Amino acid sequence: MAKAISNNLAGRVPPQNTQAEQAVLCTCLDSETALSVVTAILSQNDFYRPDHRIIFAAILELMTLRSPVDIITVSDLLSKRGELEQVGGTTYLSQLSDLPIIRTNAAEYASIVRQKAMLRRIIESLDDVIKLSYDGEQEANNLVDIAIKRLSDMRENPAGSGFETIHEILKRTLQEISDISRGKKERTAIHTGFPMLDKATGGFRPGSLIIVAARPAMGKSAFVINLATNASIMFGTHVAFFSLEMSKTEIGNRILASRSSVSTYALQNADIKENDWNQISSALAVLSPAPFYIDDRSGINTIEMMAKCRQLKNEGKLGLIIIDYMQLMSSAGSRSSGNRQQEISEISRALKIMAKELEVPVIALSQLSRGAEYREDRRPLLADLRDSGAIEQDADMVIFIYRDKYYDTSAEKPEIEDAEIILAKNRQGATKTVMMKWQARKTLFFEPDLPASPDESQAPRDSIHATLPADYQDIPDFDIPAENGGN
């Protein structure tokens, strides 16, 4: 069967466009301006026909030597190399130069050649993967990683338009500032639903990488879940949440607890009291329409994550990416290297590239080393970021979470504690600390001037299903034990 597939592919002509290749060479031989445009788009290997590759290589060499490029100079160079007859001699070069084409369309002709070249490379790459699949020596998941990585490496950056003059950049920037100041446009930034934090950060800008770090059990997962919930509910932000540690159910329980009066413990153990149902139904009515997407597969790598996020982006369903957390990710490029520091560096860099290419903020959680544990002031420092200094380098913003009561084991902790959200690095503004409150029972962070919970008004038990979203109305009531207020 493998032989049949190979023969089938061998009998087909690979994607190519001879007329576009000829048009490109014609513009290069006739226009210095077109030559500059074409050489910024194409390389020698983008041409399908061998004679066209030879001609373009000669053109590139003359351009490098700062020599004129025309029929005579190209013919002379090819003659010296003994390659003139291979390309059809001066007759073919003359035919190229005389083609009836529009010289100002050089970029369009070059783009056609480039697209055909990419299609050929896709075929070649996947053909290699097919051969490896038939060999059976690689694990299936490894082959998927290889295929995705090769295709991703080939993909052209849609925003990669190359150089742009400072005049055009400033003109666009000032127009945006003018529109924002006149109320015609809102600044593109993701708001967290924490007003003081948003004021300190200016919101999370598209293309930025934000690192949230803290010691274990300090509340970093709860913080980003609260943030994501706020962004999706209050501002309609489409959130892609990758949880490599907690399951979707556990995250769901935390979100429900943070928006109701029911504790996470009660939800996890189905210990629901009669008066809790009103809060649950109210929370569901708010949460159900939220554009919040959760993927809880463990071990996902940066290539797979990029592919999934790009799909959401193409569907218009991506505004913010959150990863919990970096040290549980794997990097397709260094899976077997054994150097964890190098792997984390590659993951950090890949996340920054993801933020820029998808034009959305990426929030990644990170562990901290034990360095802070041995200092008198245990507040984290940038040097405490675990595994790699590249995390600090790649990040546009680094946020630490610190609770002083975390280290107090002498007494029972209060229901609501002080929490410090420390902006240790902020490329968009000043570094500072934003004070918040932490309620462990509900895994909830909130700012002191804002209520920790929604209004806890009571409603009769028989009215609960009337307020539930339609999709939940067929869920039967939990049996409530008599000691909890049931019948």
Whichever domain contains 14, its CATH number is 1.10.860.10
Question: Across residues 269-275, what is the average pLDDT?
Answer: 68
For the stretch 108-131, pLDDT in tens is 999 999 999 988 888 888 888 888
For the stretch 16-30, pLDDT in tens is 999 999 999 999 888
- Say what the pLDDT of residue 440 is: 83
Evaluate if residue 348 carries a pLDDT over 70.
yes
Nearest alpha-carbon partner for 100 in 33, 18, 38, 19:
19
Query: SS3 sequence, 171-217?
Result: HHHHHHHHHHHCCCCCCCCECCCCHHHHHHHCCECCCCEEEEEECCC
- Say what the pLDDT of residue 10 is: 56
Question: Across residues 218-227, what is the average pLDDT?
Answer: 90
For the chain, what is the largest distance between any 2 Cα atoms, rounded to a whole number of angstroms? 101
Question: Across residues 131-135, what is the average pLDDT?
Answer: 83
Is residue 42 very low, low, confident or very high in pLDDT (cuts 50, 70, 90)?
confident
Angle, vertex CA 190, rays to CA 284 and CA 243, nearest 5: 60
Last residue of a domain, one of 154, 178, 211: 154
Sheet holding 292-295, edge to edge: 292-295, 239-243, 320-324, 362-367, 209-214, 397-402, 416-426, 433-439, 444-446
Is residue 249 very low, low, confident or very high in pLDDT (cuts 50, 70, 90)?
confident
Q: State whether 215 and 361 are in the same domain.
A: yes
**Which residue(s) pair with 293 in the sheet?**
240
292 lies in some domain:
yes
Q: State whether 135 and 255 are in the same domain.
A: no
Is residue 239 very low, low, confident or very high in pLDDT (cuts 50, 70, 90)?
very high
Is residue 186 very low, low, confident or very high in pLDDT (cuts 50, 70, 90)?
low
Q: State whether 419 and 337 are in the same domain.
A: yes
Is residue 473 very low, low, confident or very high in pLDDT (cuts 50, 70, 90)?
low
Is residue 54 very low, low, confident or very high in pLDDT (cuts 50, 70, 90)?
very high
Asked if 251 and 243 count as a contact pair (C-beta separation under 8 A), the reply is yes
Number of structural domains the chain divides into? 2
- CB-based burial of residue 400 (10 Å sphere; 0-12 exposed, 13-18 middle, 19+ buried)? buried
Domain that holds residue 10: 2-154
Evaluate if residue 202 carries a pLDDT over 50.
yes
CB burial string 259-295: b at 16+ within 10 A, e below? bbbbbbebbeeeebebebbbbbbbbbeebeebbbbbb
Residue 337 phi, psi (nearest 5): -70, -30
Lowest-confidence segment of 79-93, 120-134, 324-338, 473-487 by average pLDDT: 473-487
Is residue 242 very low, low, confident or very high in pLDDT (cuts 50, 70, 90)?
very high
pTM listed for this prediction: 0.64
276 lies in some domain:
yes
64 lies in some domain:
yes
Q: State whether 331 and 246 are in the same domain.
A: yes
Handedness of CA 399, 403, 407, 409 (dihedral sign): negative
- Say what the pLDDT of residue 404 is: 85
Q: State whether 211 and 118 are in the same domain.
A: no
Q: State whether 284 and 380 are in the same domain.
A: yes
Evaluate if residue 469 carries a pLDDT over 70.
no
Cα–Cα distance, 236 to 405 (Å, whole number): 34
92 lies in some domain:
yes
Is residue 176 very low, low, confident or very high in pLDDT (cuts 50, 70, 90)?
confident
394 lies in some domain:
yes
Evaluate if residue 57 carries a pLDDT over 80.
yes
216 lies in some domain:
yes
Q: State whether 277 and 369 are in the same domain.
A: yes
Residue with more model confidence, 229 or 151: 229
Handedness of CA 59, 60, 61, 62 (dihedral sign): positive
Question: Across residues 88-92, what is the average pLDDT?
Answer: 91
* CA atoms within 13 Å, Cβ hemisphere of 380: 30
- Say what the pLDDT of residue 2 is: 39
- Say what the pLDDT of residue 157 is: 46
Q: State whether 123 and 213 are in the same domain.
A: no
Is residue 450 very low, low, confident or very high in pLDDT (cuts 50, 70, 90)?
low
Evaluate if residue 179 carries a pLDDT over 90.
no
Read off the tokens for 343.
Answer: 């792997």
CATH number at 233 reads 3.40.50.300
- Say what the pLDDT of residue 456 is: 38
Question: Across residues 50-74, what is the average pLDDT?
Answer: 88
Last residue of a domain, one of 154, 181, 214: 154
Q: Which amino acid is at 178?
A: S
- Say what the pLDDT of residue 331 is: 65
Q: How far is CA 380 from the centre of its chain?
A: 26
Q: State whether 116 and 227 are in the same domain.
A: no
Q: State whether 306 and 361 are in the same domain.
A: yes
Evaluate if residue 300 carries a pLDDT over 60.
yes
Question: Across residues 173-183, what is the average pLDDT?
Answer: 74
Last residue of a domain, one of 154, 178, 213: 154
Nearest alpha-carbon partner for 397 in 426, 420, 422:
426
Q: State whether 275 and 418 are in the same domain.
A: yes
Residue with more model confidence, 461 or 41: 41
Q: State whether 313 and 364 are in the same domain.
A: yes
Residue with more model confidence, 413 or 163: 413
Question: Across residues 214-220, what is the average pLDDT?
Answer: 86
What is the overall mean pLDDT for the chain?
Answer: 79
- Say what the pLDDT of residue 360 is: 92
239 lies in some domain:
yes
142 lies in some domain:
yes
